[in-house]
Amino acid sequence: MQGKRISLIILFVSLLCNVALAQKDAAHNPIIYADVPDMSMLRVGNTYYMSSTTMHMSPGVPIMKSKDLVNWQIISYAYDTLANVDAMNLVNGKSTYGKGSWASCLRYHNGTFYVSTFAQTTGKTYIYSTKNLEKGPWKAQSFKPAYHDHSLFFDDNGRVYMIWGAGKLRIMELKEDLSGVKEGTERVLIENASAPAGTNIMLGAEGSQLFKVNGKYYLFNITWPRGGMRTVVVHRADKITGPYEGKLAFQDQGVAQGGIIDTPDGQWFAYLFQDHGSVGRIPYLVPMKWEDGWPVIGVNGKAPETLDLPASKGLIPGIVANDEFTRRKKEPALPLVWQWNHNPDNQLWSVTQRKGYLRLTTGRIDTLFVMAKNTLTQRTIGPVSSGITCIDGSNMKEGDFAGLALLQSKFGQVGLQLKNGTLSVVMVNAGSGKPLEVGRVALKQKTVYLKAECDFRDKIDIARFFYSLDGKSWIPIGSELKMEYSLAHFMGYRFGLFNYATKTAGGFVDFDYFHISNRITEKN
């Protein structure tokens, strides 16, 4: 009897170990623990593609590729510059934080990829197209007005439509060359698309994404019942023009807004995202099946932690990456993980003027970090991440401030400042809503190492800043930054390399490298 008990215990432990190993080798939600909102996804053969929102950043509308729906790599952008206007250029006191281009729609039709988006900044709708997402070239078209959260759709009969709106959804047909709207085709499609989620609605149904499966049209939207959470509603019709019948499709952890994707072997998933504090809006994959012609999302109505997909290999590289700023011939000046905060002045940065370094030169006087040009950014990642750089301030001018930042409305900075002829390492904390200098240490050397650490675990959303004189021993500086996701910027926190002048333009700094890690120093 005792032998049987021992055998059962061994079997039980073995089963637990196998479950643990299986979970370790499986994919986990969130699929990407970083700010990748408003996903639009499609599959061509056995390759998946995805577009997302980066609003005021340049270049914009990132395109990502995956072979397994889990491990994604940025492969291109739909545009280098959205528009050459004051707000995008950070000139004349104007900016376009929280605006720029919003939710995109990624489509593939007759051998061509299409990415459509819209911009409050310009009041226009944009359609970008290319035969090759990775190599381009891209063709750009635009027309007014900006159609909010639209879904571009190529029907089987060759006609092209857009569905857009919030609460009341509308449909229209586009001209064959996609240059604008066919006159007289705009009409109301669904009078109240939020209705399946109830009558007390805080956010009317928006984020339209339309799909055609087995001859039926399925329109996915997000809505937000007052006192509830972000919710997925789906409408179904036999004709694209309706009539549509709707259902509440998914309501769990605020995971909502997106669409559906199938695998070559017949699995179906809903791709959605969750507002996750200061790291941003993070993507989830939720298994789904079809019942009576309706998509049934979730495992017992929930977004599972583990998925029957290959495990993630991590977000480094792919979504973010280290950069030594060394470039071989024919390599791009900047890897695709980098984006500028607003349109850059390309005459004031270089990776060739000093081999192996990024040089940022000041071209004007600025007094506030978020209004300074040529801040180069990468996403932060969760659950924890750190960014490290080494900066040479030998050629700074009086009043210059340069270094490493965490960019959002309530930002934090650690960097070199030349003040009254003395070079110091300084920490600025804007967690109160106003930038305050909370740490300053005079230096006897021109080069310093800088580090910013982010802790997003359990939405604690705390950042700490450090400096080092030798790249080995790190010294805390200033105070903790309480990070906060602000709708004014509408974006998760980003690491940023910056340099701006407050007195005299023309100084420059050289960054030796940028390293990103998914580890931080644990507090004792």
SS3 279: helix
| 484: CB partners within 8 A, 6+ apart | 278, 408, 409, 410, 431, 461
CATH number for 28-310 (one of 1.10.1780.10, 3.30.360.10, 2.115.10.20, 3.30.420.40): it is 2.115.10.20
Residue 354 near residue 288 (C-beta atoms within 8 A) = no
- For 480-499, what is the mean pLDDT? 97
CA 491/CA 379 separation, integer angstroms = 10
Q: What is the pTM of this model?
A: 0.93
Q: What is the mean pLDDT of residues 132-150?
A: 97
At residue 20, the pLDDT reads: 42
Listed residue (197, 195, 219, 224) closest to 208, CA to CA:
219
Q: Write phi, then psi, for 237 (nearest 5 degrees).
A: -150, 160
Q: Any idea which of 59-73, 293-307, 493-507, 510-524 has the lowest mean pLDDT?
A: 510-524
C-alpha closest to that of 475 among 457, 506, 451, 504: 451
- Mean pLDDT, the chain, as a whole number? 95
Domain boundaries 339-517, CATH class: mainly beta
Domain regions of the chain by residue span: 28-310, 339-517
Average pLDDT rounded to a whole number, residues 429-445: 97
Q: Is 507 exposed, middle or buried (0-12, 13-18, 19+ CB in 10 A)?
A: buried
- Spatial separation of the C-alpha atoms in residues 339 and 344, rounded to whole Å: 9
The maximal CA–CA distance of the chain, rounded, in angstroms, is 87
Mean pLDDT of the region 381-395: 98
Task: Tell me which residue has tokens 């939600």.
Answer: 29
Q: What is the pLDDT at residue 157?
A: 93
Name the nearest CA neighbour of 390 among 324, 307, 328.
324
Q: Judge contact between 369 and 413, C-beta under 8 A.
A: yes
